[in-house]
């Protein structure tokens, strides 16, 4: 029997910024306190989801759990894996610390344990263990307003479309995550443009790993073996340094 894909639907218009999802994530993952004010916290190795105040709206940031995750496609040791149920999970016993996943993520989500002797990559895993036991994600379970809704991805898409159709003046006529980079397991609705919430705009509809493959198909083998490899090493090295510096700075408010 095929596994039904699960996901989350986050509705900006219903979020009151209470921080219940933030705290539930901390408790479920046994994460230490990382800020005296959860609205000022940012994604880190100790924080897998945040609630941000953007343009007088509250918006969540967490791993989007892409349908075709770029992070998994660039990992040389398969430390990241897209599961049939929806979560993109991390196998820390395989990780070699290359941090290619951090560079490749179109949503800039994975974080690194920079200060540890044996560092790991950290991010939301969509409560994969809870899903396996038939439970919803911890964040959705505690949401008092239904701003974070858990369920089958197809059903969540239907719910989102019905909300837009029923209140066209209340919502931007787009489900963020439905098609971005091939689709994600986390979907969002908003009453203002998504870029005003700090979400990346202008993303391709095609999964990024497929775009990379299409480009490589057009390059002769002898060129790919030389210039692509060297160019890729240079880009990855430079981008990895950028990511490290960016994650050490406070997020723009």
Q: Could you tell me where the DSSP H helices lie in 78-184? A: 100-104, 128-132, 138-142, 153-166
CATH code of residue 82: 3.30.70.20
Residue 175 lies in a domain: yes
Q: Tell me which residues of the chain have a pLDDT lower than 70.
A: 1, 210-244, 246-253
Q: Specify burial of residue 171 (Cβ count, 10 A radius: 0-12, 13-18, 19+).
A: buried
pLDDT of residue 131: 97
Q: How far apart are CA 123 and CA 74, in angstroms?
A: 16
Residue 231 lies in a domain: no
Residue 57 lies in a domain: yes
pLDDT of residue 100: 92
pLDDT of residue 214: 45
Tokens in use for 202?
């202008």
Q: What is the mean pLDDT of the chain?
A: 89
CA-CA-CA-CA torsion sign (35, 89, 252, 25): negative
Longest dimension (CA), the chain: 58
Tally DSSP H helices, then E strands, for the chain: 9, 9
Residue 74 lies in a domain: yes
Domain limits for position 66: 6-215+237-247
The number of C-alpha atoms within 13 Å of 39 and in the hemisphere containing its C-beta is 11
Residue 31 lies in a domain: yes
DSSP structure class, residue 66: B
Helix (H) or strand (E) holding 51: strand 50-54
pLDDT of residue 217: 45
Residue 229 lies in a domain: no
Residue 224 lies in a domain: no
Query: How many domains, the chain?
Result: 1
Q: Specify burial of residue 1 (Cβ count, 10 A radius: 0-12, 13-18, 19+).
A: exposed
**Model pLDDT for residues 80-124, shown as the tens digit of each residue:** 999 999 999 999 999 999 999 999 999 999 999 999 999 999 999
Residue 225 lies in a domain: no
């Amino acid at each position: 029997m095929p596994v039904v894909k699960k996901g989350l639907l986050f509705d900006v218009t219903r979020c009151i910024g209470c921080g219940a999802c933030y705290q539930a994530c901390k408790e479920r993952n046994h994460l230490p306190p990382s800020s005296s004010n959860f609205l000022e916290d940012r994604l880190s190795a100790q924080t897998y989801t945040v609630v941000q105040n953007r343009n007088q709206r509250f918006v969540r940031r967490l791993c989007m759990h892409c349908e075709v995750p770029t992070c998994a496609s660039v990992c040389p040791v398969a430390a990241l894996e897209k599961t049939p149920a929806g979560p993109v999970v991390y196998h820390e016993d395989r990780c070699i610390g290359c941090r290619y996943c951090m560079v490749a993520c179109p949503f800039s989500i994975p974080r690194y344990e920079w200060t540890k002797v044996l560092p790991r990559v950290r991010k939301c895993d969509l409560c994969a263990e809870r899903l396996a036991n038939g439970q919803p994600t911890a964040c959705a379970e505690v949401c008092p307003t239904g701003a974070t809704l858990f369920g089958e991805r197809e059903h969540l898409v239907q719910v989102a479309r019905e909300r837009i159709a029923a209140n066209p003046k209340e919502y931007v006529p787009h489900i963020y995550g439905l098609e971005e980079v091939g689709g994600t397991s986390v979907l969002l609705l908003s009453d203002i443009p998504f870029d005003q919430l700090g979400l990346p705009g202008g993303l391709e509809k095609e999964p990024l790993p497929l775009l990379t493959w299409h480009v490589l198909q057009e390059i002769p083998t002898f060129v790919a073996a030389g210039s692509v490899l060297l160019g890729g090493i240079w880009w990855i090295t430079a981008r990895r340094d950028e990511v490290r510096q960016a994650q050490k700075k406070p997020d723009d408010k």
